[in-house]
Structure 1
Amino acid sequence: MVFRKSEWPAMAAAGVTVVAWASAFVSIRSAGAAYSPGALALGRLLAGTLVLGAIALARRVGWPPRAAWPGIATSGVLWFGAYMVVLNWGEREVDAGTAAMVVNIGPILIALLSARLLGEGLPRPLLAGMGVSFAGAVVVGASVSGGGHASVLGVLLCLLAAISYAGGVVAQKPALRHAGALQVTFYGCLVGTVACLPFAGVLVSEAARAPLPATLNMVYLGVVPTALAFTTWAFALARTTAGRMGATTYAVPVLVVAMSWALLGEVPGLLTLLGGALCLAGVAVSRRPAARARRAAGQEPVRIR
Structure 2
Amino acid sequence: MNDSPSRPGHRAPWQAAGAVTVTVVLWASAFVSIRSAGAAYSPGALALGRLLTGALALGVLWAVRREGLPPRAAWRGIAVSGVLWFGVYMVVLNWGEQQVDAGTAALVVNIGPILIALLGSRLLGDAMPPRLLAGMAVSFAGAVAVGLSMSGGGGSSVLGVVLCLLAAGAYAGGVVAQKPALATASALQVTTFGCLIGAVACLPFAGRLVQDAADAPVTATLNMVYLGVFPTALAFTTWAYALARTTASRMGATTYAVPALVVLMSWLFLGEVPGLVTLGGGVLCLAGVAVSRSRPRLSPPRGAAVVRPEPEPEPASD
TM-score, normalised relative to structure 1: 0.93
Residue 209 of structure 1 aligns with an amino acid whose one-letter code is D
Taking only aligned residues, the RMSD between alpha carbons, in angstroms, comes to 1.5
Residue 62 of structure 1 aligns with an amino acid whose one-letter code is G
- In structure 2, the residue matched to 1:67 is 73
Q: Which has the higher contact order (CA 8 A, sep 6+)?
A: 1
Residues of 1 paired with 2:67 and 2:148: CA distance? 45
1:217 lines up with 2:223 in the alignment: yes
- In structure 2, the residue matched to 1:299 is none
**Paired residue for 2:294, among 280, 284, 288?**
288
- In structure 2, the residue matched to 1:112 is 118
Residues of 1 paired with 2:284 and 2:57: CA distance? 36
**Paired residue for 1:204, among 205, 210, 231?**
210
Report if the CA contact (8 A) 1:48-1:223 is conserved: yes
- In structure 2, the residue matched to 1:232 is 238
Residues of 2 paired with 1:291 and 1:150: CA distance? 45
Residues of 2 paired with 1:28 and 1:162: CA distance? 17
Displacement of 1:293: 11
- In structure 2, the residue matched to 1:164 is 170
Displacement of 1:147: 2.4
* Closer/same/farther in 2, CA of residues 294 and 170 from structure 1, 3 Å limit: farther
Report if the CA contact (8 A) 1:130-1:283 is conserved: yes
Residues of 2 paired with 1:55 and 1:69: CA distance? 20
- In structure 1, the residue matched to 2:278 is 272
**Paired residue for 1:145, among 141, 151, 164?**
151
Deviations 1:162-208 (A, max 9, x none): 00000000000000001000000000000000000000011011111
**Paired residue for 1:11, among 10, 17, 32?**
17
Identity level (%): 75
**Paired residue for 1:124, among 120, 130, 140?**
130
- In structure 1, the residue matched to 2:51 is 45
Aligned residue pairs: how many?
292
SS in 1 for 2:60: helix
- In structure 2, the residue matched to 1:85 is 91
Residue 287 of structure 2 aligns with an amino acid whose one-letter code is A
- In structure 2, the residue matched to 1:177 is 183
- In structure 2, the residue matched to 1:36 is 42
Report if the CA contact (8 A) 1:93-1:149 is conserved: yes
Residues of 1 paired with 2:300 and 2:191: CA distance? 31
Q: Which runs of 5+ in 2 are unaligned?
A: 1-9, 302-318
* Closer/same/farther in 2, CA of residues 293 and 227 from structure 1, 3 Å limit: farther
**Paired residue for 1:24, among 3, 15, 30?**
30
Residues of 1 paired with 2:11 and 2:291: CA distance? 17
Q: Which runs of 5+ in 1 are unaligned?
A: 296-305
Deviations 1:65-103 (A, max 9, x none): 000000000000000000000000000000011001100
Residues of 1 paired with 2:244 and 2:187: CA distance? 8
TM-score, normalised relative to structure 2: 0.90
SS in 1 for 2:13: helix
Displacement of 1:292: 6.4
- In structure 2, the residue matched to 1:98 is 104
Structure with the greater alpha carbon radius of gyration: 2
1:257 lines up with 2:263 in the alignment: yes
